[in-house]
Amino acid sequence: MDVVWDFLQVGLVGNFSWGNMAMLAIGCVFIYLGIARDYEPLLLVPIGFGVLVGNIPLSSGMNIGIYEEGSVLNVLYSGVTQGWYPSLIFLGIGAMTDFSAMLANPRLILLGAAAQAGIFLTFAGSLLLGFPPQEAAAIGIIGGADGPTAIFLAGQLAPHLLGAIAVAAYSYMALVPVIQPPIIRLLTTREERLIRMKPSPPVSKRLRIIFPILAFVLCASIAPGAISLLGFLFFGNLLKESGVTERLAKTARNSMIDIVTILLGLCVGASTDASRFLTPASIKIALLGAASFCVATAAGVLFAKLMNVFVKDKINPIIGAAGVSAVPDSARVCQMVGAQEDPQNFLIMHAMAPNVAGVIGSAVAAGVFLSRFMFN
C-alpha cells in the first residue's frame, strides 16, 4: 500500500498547512454570510467557494493551481489579470442602470464626487504605511466601493495584491449596512434626517439616450485611463436606453454578466492562497479599506450639509452616504436610516443619484491612477 501512501502525499497529507486551513475557514465564512445573511450573495458565494478551490493543499506541478501557467483556473484567471472581466461586468451594469434619478436632479452628482475623497486619502495613507505608489493606488480604490473597478485597477497595477484588495472591497461592500448608519447618525441632526426632498421630475427618453454618449466623451477626454471601465458602462447604458437594441441589452444584463460574474468570483477567490493572502500587507489593506469606507461616507454626508448652506431646496444629508457607490446597497441604507425617523420619507429614489454618480466617480479616479502609473 505504499502506492496509496505515496499518492496521498500530493494532497492534504503531504502539504498540510495551518494557513490553508485558516483560508478554508474564511471561505466557509464568506459562503455563510452570502447564504444565511444575504450579504451580496452573487459575489460572496462564488468568491467563498473560490477561496476553497484556491486553498486545497496540494503539490505544485500538476497543472491545477491558478498560478500554474496553462491550468484551467489560470486560463480563466486571465480575464481578471487582463482586465476584461471587470469591463464586461461594467457593460452589464450599464445595461441595468437607470440614470434617471441623476438626470432629474443633476446637482446630486456632486455628492458622488465628494465621496471619492476616501480613495485619495487612503492612497496617501497607504503611502504613509510604506506601500509603493502603484500598490497604494490599488489599495486606495477600495474606498471607491466598487468591486469591478477595484479588481480592474489591482489587476493592472498590483496583481499580487488582487486577492486581498478584492476580498477587502467586497467585504466592506457587504458590511455597508453595518458601517454606514452610525457614521450618518453621528454627522447629522434629527432635523436634517427628517428633510423631505421634493419628487424628481421625469426625464425625457432623448436625454436618457444622449447622456451616456456625452458623459463618456467628457469623462474619457479628461481621464482616458477610465475608458476600459466607463466605455463599457456607458455603452451598456446606451444599449439599454436606445430602445432599438433591447435584445443586446437584455443579454448583456443577463447571461453575459452572469457568466462573467461566476468566473470572476471563482477566480478572485481562488487567487487568495494562504501564502499570498495571510500576510501583514493584507491586514494593513483590511484596515485601510475600513478607514476608507468611513472617510468616504463622512465626506459624502458633510458635502451634502455644505451644499445645504447654498441651495434653497434642501438636500437630506443622509443621501450623501450613497455617494460611495456600493450600488445599490448604500442607497438602501440611506432609505433605511431615513425611514427610522420618518417611515413615509422615500429617500431611496433620491439616493440613487449620488449612488450611480459614485460609480462614475470611482472609475474616473481609477483612470487618474492608471494614467499616472501605467507609463512606468
Partner 1 sequence: MGSNITPEMGSLAIAGVLIVFGVLALISLVVALLKKLDGRWQDHERRVDEAAMTKEPTIDNTTLVLISAAAATVVQGRFRVRRIHRLLSPKRKRTPWSAQGRLILQGSHTVRRKRS
User: Which chain residues interact with Na ion by CB under 5 A?
Assistant: 144-146, 325, 358, 362
In the bound complex, what is the minimum distance in angstroms from residue 127's beta carbon to partner 1?
Answer: 4
Contact 144, 361 (CB under 8 A): yes
Q: Rule CB under 8 A: say whether 224 interacts with partner 1.
A: no
In the bound complex, what is the minimum distance in angstroms from residue 214's beta carbon to partner 1?
Answer: 6
Q: Rule CB under 8 A: say whether 328 interacts with partner 1.
A: yes
Q: Which does 262 bind (CB under 5 to 8 A by kind): Na ion, partner 1, a second copy, none?
A: a second copy
Q: Which does 325 bind (CB under 5 to 8 A by kind): partner 1, Na ion, a second copy, none?
A: Na ion
The angle formed by the CA atoms of residues 366, 368 and 369, to the nearest 5 degrees, is 65
Name the residue nearer to a second copy (CB basis): 89 or 278: 89
* Helix intervals (H) in 38-83: 41-54, 72-81
In the bound complex, what is the minimum distance in angstroms from residue 267's beta carbon to partner 1?
Answer: 26
In the bound complex, what is the minimum distance in angstroms from residue 352's beta carbon to partner 1?
Answer: 8
In the bound complex, what is the minimum distance in angstroms from residue 200's beta carbon to partner 1?
Answer: 7
Backbone conformation region of residue 183, classed left if phi is above 0, alpha if psi is from -120 to 50, else beta: alpha
Residue 255 burial (CB count, 10 A): 11
Q: Which does 348 bind (CB under 5 to 8 A by kind): a second copy, partner 1, Na ion, none?
A: partner 1
Stretch binding partner 1 (CB under 8 A), from 42-50, 185-193, 214-222, 265-273: 214-222
Name the residue nearer to partner 1 (CB basis): 45 or 103: 103
Task: Please select the residue that binds partner 1; options are 69, 190, 204, 310, rule is CB under 8 A.
Answer: 204
Name the residue nearer to partner 1 (CB basis): 76 or 127: 127
The angle formed by the CA atoms of residues 219, 298 and 170, to the nearest 5 degrees, is 70
In the bound complex, what is the minimum distance in angstroms from residue 26's beta carbon to Na ion?
Answer: 25
Residue indicated by cell numbers 499518492: 7
Q: CA 91 to CA 14: how far, in whole Å?
A: 44
For 225, phi then psi, to 5°, come to -60, -20
The three cell numbers of residue 55 are 486553498
Q: CA 336 to CA 177: how far, in whole Å?
A: 9
Name the residue nearer to Na ion (CB basis): 144 or 225: 144
Q: Rule CB under 8 A: say whether 58 interacts with partner 1.
A: no
Q: Which does 84 bind (CB under 5 to 8 A by kind): a second copy, Na ion, partner 1, none?
A: a second copy
Contact 305, 168 (CB under 8 A): no
Task: Please select the residue that binds partner 1; options are 142, 268, 332, 356, rule is CB under 8 A.
Answer: 332
Q: CA 45 to CA 38: how far, in whole Å?
A: 10
Name the residue nearer to Na ion (CB basis): 55 or 171: 171
Q: What is the DSSP letter of 343?
A: T
Name the residue nearer to partner 1 (CB basis): 182 or 243: 243
Q: Rule CB under 8 A: say whether 369 interacts with partner 1.
A: yes
Name the residue nearer to a second copy (CB basis): 263 or 337: 263
Q: Which does 29 bind (CB under 5 to 8 A by kind): partner 1, a second copy, Na ion, none?
A: none
In the bound complex, what is the minimum distance in angstroms from residue 279's beta carbon to partner 1?
Answer: 12
Q: Which does 106 bind (CB under 5 to 8 A by kind): a second copy, partner 1, Na ion, none?
A: partner 1
Q: Which of 184, 215, 197 is nearest to 97 (CA)?
A: 215
Q: CA 65 to CA 257: how far, in whole Å?
A: 25
Q: Which does 211 bind (CB under 5 to 8 A by kind): a second copy, Na ion, partner 1, none?
A: partner 1
Stretch binding partner 1 (CB under 8 A), from 43-51, 71-79, 131-139, 160-168: 131-139
Q: Which of 172, 160, 139 is nearest to 43 (CA)?
A: 172
The angle formed by the CA atoms of residues 274, 275 and 278, to the nearest 5 degrees, is 60
Q: Rule CB under 8 A: say whether 182 interacts with partner 1.
A: no
The angle formed by the CA atoms of residues 229, 233 and 237, to the nearest 5 degrees, is 170
The three cell numbers of residue 352 are 440613487
Please give the full DSSP string across 235-255, using - where no structure is assigned.
HHHHHHHSSS-HHHHHHIIII
Q: Rule CB under 8 A: say whether 10 interacts with partner 1.
A: no
Report the interhelical angle of 329-341 vs 348-373 (nearest 10°): 140
